[in-house]
């Protein structure tokens, strides 16, 4: 419950801030700030704001980046990185975390190989360290695969 309340407060902070912005550059800065924020993992409310939606269909990479964090994966970013801004280390970590959440939502058990490929980690040890230390949902590591449980609390 505490996580949910904290997440809701962070979301509301960004929604309120985004609602007051009008210029493309100020919205782009807000998007970078939101996607870098360590406690923000849900982006649909921000994506649905009218001034953010005005960026849709433009060549603005900030809107595409925000959609990526809302609905995409690390592989989606890598496949489109030429048209997107370079990510900070915080953004890379968050996008990889969100990738695990996305994959665990569609697969009950994830193979080590699939996660290594999706997250672009070179070995099992690096993958297990990420899942134990950096992943925001609980994952059980087993020989037959990895099962992740939980949600983002939103």
Tell me the pLDDT tens digit for each residue of 30-60.
999 999 998 898 999 999 999 999 888 777 7
CB 127 within 8 A of CB 112: yes
* Residues 103, 57, 42, 91, CA torsion sign: positive
> CATH no. for residue 126?
1.10.10
Domain holding 66, by residue range, is 2-71
User: Is residue 76 one of the residues assigned to a domain?
Assistant: no
Tell me the pLDDT tens digit for each residue of 120-154.
999 888 888 887 777 765 655 555 556 565 544 33
User: Is residue 28 one of the residues assigned to a domain?
Assistant: yes
């Amino acid at each position: 419950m505490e996580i949910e309340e904290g997440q809701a407060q962070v979301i509301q902070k960004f929604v309120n801030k985004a609602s007051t912005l009008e210029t493309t550059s100020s919205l782009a800065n807000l998007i970078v700030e939101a996607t870098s924020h360590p406690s923000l993992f849900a982006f649909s409310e921000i994506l649905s704001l009218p001034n953010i939606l005005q960026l849709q269909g433009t060549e603005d990479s900030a809107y595409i980046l925000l959609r990526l964090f809302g609905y995409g994966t690390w592989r989606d970013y890598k496949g489109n990185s030429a048209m997107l801004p370079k990510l900070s280390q915080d953004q890379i970590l968050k996008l990889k975390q969100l990738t695990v959440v996305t994959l665990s939502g569609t697969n009950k058990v994830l193979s080590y190989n699939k996660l290594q490929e999706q997250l672009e980690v070179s070995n099992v040890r690096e993958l297990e360290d990420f899942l134990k230390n950096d992943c925001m949902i609980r994952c059980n590591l087993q020989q037959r695969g990895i099962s992740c449980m939980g949600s983002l609390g939103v």
